[in-house]
Structure 1
């Protein structure tokens, strides 16, 4: 084979190899079969990165773990002593505590006497009794007092309003007077209710028939506006009477769960009562005492027929974490603080006697997590102890 054909043979072999490797297609695509437009460059678009969804964090449960009032224990502290028959305890917004003494004195613990109600007639169980601050005290400085006074040959009770300012009382205004009074059975507790009205307990003034007479202010629970006028929704029209048929009620407190009113009432000898107070209802005195099963009268929540409790002030412990609603009842002749545990329907489920070594207990109030009680061992019926009478702060703990 001459040199010329050798070169041709080598070229043919090279073309075959070039075609097999795809070089021919690439060459034709760039020349003969090339497109007649310039393709637009394709921009690379970054896909958005999806943020991961936040994990749902379960909120901590706000459910309160409840426990029974029967599990409570108590810490005590004497916050006032050497008092004479303290009747009411009134915490002031500045942290001090005001106390009424039955002989007519108004005292601030740690300071002493700040005012004397000169008209207060201290005889028997009569004298300066209840006290309460106005719901608007921060603005009007009003304090209400209940006391016995003498007019002619008779004894009466009145509700007066004062201004408490510069550690004294001034500008007395009679809100209600002419309430029948006596040496005994004067009632005397005054409290503002959740509705903003003033509630007043009055005794039968030792005239038992007055309790059943709705035209008399004696033996009743009265309800009035802060100025002494009659609320439009009172049960007996233009009358301050809210409930009747009571002998000598001395305690008022509202159930923190139901909002219902409860009151204590002294019975004859024993037969003392704690009643669920409803507007316009008749509690039976002097026709019946304790449970009568008579549809004309309301039966008591509790009747102490086995012994004389002589209940005075009462106060609920308004703690959400408690299974029950405990009502504390101060006992004078009973010499105890009684705890009555009510369920959410207001039914009594348990009772427990507390503080049986303090002597006569006149009242109990609740204030900022603690109970406060007043002893009455100097009222002529008790056995005074060292530093009596005292105000004791009782703090329930679990």
Structure 2
């Protein structure tokens, strides 16, 4: 009897030591939280709208007035690349989304979305340029005639793993457009990188991918899953998983299908509900996915730049990636309105502000 007791005790101690070792090992188990530091990298910007990490190890940014620049992440020095002469910045409009070709080192193409006046009508178009090492050349219009407005432009771009270009468009201040499948406002559109329409889009000959959107300003692929952040009206800002040919409800549904009228509409119109919604609204903008070990407490999280509530949010996802388990707030009221963010290959995070006066790039890294 005593031998079994001694054996059990030794076994338990050995098991504890093994488990403790595994939990402390940075290669497995739960890592301790990293201590973060934040600092201004670049300032004197004017309404920056897009920031992304380029394959050339530079930060690429757009400013609403029409300027595209590359920023050295070590020094913060911004080098102008190109200024689009036909951009018209009105209200929240102007030069907005940008994305680089996934094979940029061999196919140096830059895709941008911006507003301009077309025969006196405020309009949005998507244009592809080639980067020659110094500036942008050879513009090719991929999409045009997208309704624009001083508000609700959406206009975030993302390229999928199978190299399709996705474009968000708000309702351009006319809510009924979002449910009209023949109107490109209030939609997420999908095209090939040459501007042609994929054969497997939901409607033959149409760029439409999903509809019923009010003002989606964040877009990121995590594998082949597409997440979007979207501005609500007076309630229900949303984070959505975008699905082919699904209706996201606006203006008939705000947030979840949780009223009798909404439930009836949702059942009849193939409505997809958000994975999270905020009431009161916070004004969510750019979104990205954190998958690095550098900041272990942020791993497997969406990071969301927030305008009205002036903060960075960490949305910790469940293992399946279809639910938000925990939300943590960072830098609230520290830098003002936050528009977008980018993540470097080593896990540093770069945030752009949208205050309109001395806007900045903020670098967040491990202390």
TM range (shorter): 0.7 to 0.9
Which of 114, 119, 139 aligns to 2:106? It is 139
**More deviation, 247-256/170-179:** 247-256
1:92 maps to 2:62? no
1:82 maps to 2:44? yes
Structure 1: gaps of 5 or more residues: 1-60, 379-383
1:339 maps to 2:339? no
Q: CA deviation digits over 1:298-341, x for unaligned, max 9?
A: 111111113x2111100010237779621111101110111111
State the match for 1:158 in structure 2. Answer: 125
Give the alignment's Cα RMSD to 1 decimal.
2.2
State the match for 2:360 in structure 1. Answer: 390
State the match for 1:67 in structure 2. Answer: 30
State the match for 2:3 in structure 1. Answer: none
| SS in structure 2 of the partner of residue 166 of structure 1 | coil
**More deviation, 323-332/155-164:** 323-332
2:109 and 2:130 in contact (8 A); partners too: yes
State the match for 1:375 in structure 2. Answer: 353
State the match for 1:195 in structure 2. Answer: 162
Which of 215, 219, 226 aligns to 1:261? It is 226
State the match for 1:30 in structure 2. Answer: none
Larger Rg over CA atoms:
1
* Alpha-carbon offset, residue 254 of structure 1: 2.3
| SS in structure 2 of the partner of residue 170 of structure 1 | strand
* Alpha-carbon offset, residue 273 of structure 1: 0.8
2:291 and 2:299 in contact (8 A); partners too: no
| SS in structure 2 of the partner of residue 300 of structure 1 | coil
1:117 maps to 2:84? yes
Which of 342, 349, 353 aligns to 2:325? It is 349
State the match for 2:237 in structure 1. Answer: 272
1:66 and 1:322 in contact (8 A); partners too: no
State the match for 1:312 in structure 2. Answer: 285
State the match for 1:298 in structure 2. Answer: 272
Change (3 A) 1:66 1:78: farther
* Alpha-carbon offset, residue 95 of structure 1: 2.3
| SS in structure 2 of the partner of residue 281 of structure 1 | coil
State the match for 2:70 in structure 1. Answer: 108
> Hey, what's the Cα distance between the residues in 1 that align with 2:211 and 2:174?
14
TM-score (norm 1): 0.77
> Hey, what's the Cα distance between the residues in 1 that align with 2:299 and 2:181?
35
**More deviation, 228-237/138-147:** 228-237
> Hey, what's the Cα distance between the residues in 1 that align with 2:185 and 2:35?
39
TM-score (norm 2): 0.83
Q: CA deviation digits over 1:17-36, x for unaligned, max 9?
A: xxxxxxxxxxxxxxxxxxxx
| SS in structure 2 of the partner of residue 216 of structure 1 | coil
Q: CA deviation digits over 1:245-285, x for unaligned, max 9?
A: 000101011235xx421101111134211111111111100
> Hey, what's the Cα distance between the residues in 1 that align with 2:192 and 2:99?
14
Change (3 A) 1:238 1:96: same
Change (3 A) 1:66 1:313: farther
| SS in structure 1 of the partner of residue 45 of structure 2 | coil
Change (3 A) 1:238 1:373: same
1:103 and 1:127 in contact (8 A); partners too: yes
2:241 and 2:274 in contact (8 A); partners too: yes
1:283 maps to 2:253? no
Change (3 A) 1:323 1:121: closer
1:190 and 1:199 in contact (8 A); partners too: yes
> Hey, what's the Cα distance between the residues in 2 that align with 1:327 and 1:377?
23
1:202 and 1:248 in contact (8 A); partners too: yes
1:66 and 1:323 in contact (8 A); partners too: no
1:67 and 1:322 in contact (8 A); partners too: no
Count of aligned pairs: 326
State the match for 1:214 in structure 2. Answer: 181
| SS in structure 1 of the partner of residue 177 of structure 2 | helix
Please state which structure has a larger fraction of its residues in strand: 2
Change (3 A) 1:367 1:211: same
> Hey, what's the Cα distance between the residues in 2 that align with 1:322 and 1:297?
33
